[in-house]
Amino acid sequence: MNSQWALDRAREGLLAGVDEAGRGPLAGPVVAAAVILDPRRRIRGIRDSKQLGEQARRHLAGKIRSVALAWSVAWADVEEIDTLNILEATHLAMRRALLGLRVRPAHVKVDGNRCPSFAGLALGCSFEAIVGGDRLEQCISAASILAKSTRDHMMTALDTIYPHYGLAKHKGYGTAMHYRALARWGASPIHRRSFAPVRLALEGRPASWPGA
């Protein structure tokens, strides 16, 4: 049997979901995940990561890693976010995650209203952007869980290096605690200098928390 023919037949019907976590925070990387679920092994409880508590996300992330046909997590760091802008950095992380899959899918569903450019990557699959896909498509929900749980772990680790900001609590998002820390301590190396509250803190005129 031709090995390429066998590989093509095995790929038929394989569906990957792609999602990100961390577009909005003032600090830390943006993380993306790609997941190909095994249709023969259902994982109960998978849904949009924003609808799950932290403990449930950790539990489901472990199940996804052990049961999925393939999964991959990647990110773009703060320097890439500030250089490219957050949308392009998010798309870069998504491309990296998809390229990290050990199995190539036939079709990819991406959460959002547009797909990253995969030109020149020779992936040989079709792509589809789905608004609200993390609520509608289980493969995207699984990707959102992996991306969110991975990023939360990264931010908790960064909290031990930069303890003044409360990163383990708010994961870099713009909370009142975070704004107060920026006003007192200024920006750290992991803060996104292209984001207005961070830029203002660097200029010595920190912004007020919007909810104040």
Q: Sketch the domain layout of the chain as residue ranges.
A: 3-154
Name the average pLDDT for the chain: 91
Is 20 labelled as part of a ligand binding site? yes
Query: What mean pLDDT comes out for the span 100-120?
Result: 91
Say which CATH topology domain 3-154 has.
Nucleotidyltransferase; domain 5 (3.30.420)
Which token pair is 5? 């023919």
Query: What mean pLDDT comes out for the span 8-19?
Result: 76
Beta strands in the chain (DSSP E): 15-21, 30-36, 70-76, 107-111, 126-130
pTM above 0.75, yes or no: yes
pLDDT at position 211: 67
pLDDT band at 212, cuts 50/70/90? low
pLDDT at position 47: 75
Question: Identity (one letter) of the amino acid at 52?
Answer: L
- pLDDT over threshold 90, residue 19: yes
pLDDT at position 50: 79
- pLDDT over threshold 50, residue 37: yes
∠ at Cα 56 (135, 30), nearest 5°? 65
Query: What mean pLDDT comes out for the span 135-144?
Result: 94
Is 19 labelled as part of a ligand binding site? yes
* DSSP state at residue 164: T
- pLDDT over threshold 50, residue 9: no
Integer Cα distance of 31 and 159 in angstroms: 17
pLDDT, tens only, 53-72: 888 899 999 999 999 999 99
pLDDT at position 7: 45
Is 48 labelled as part of a ligand binding site? no
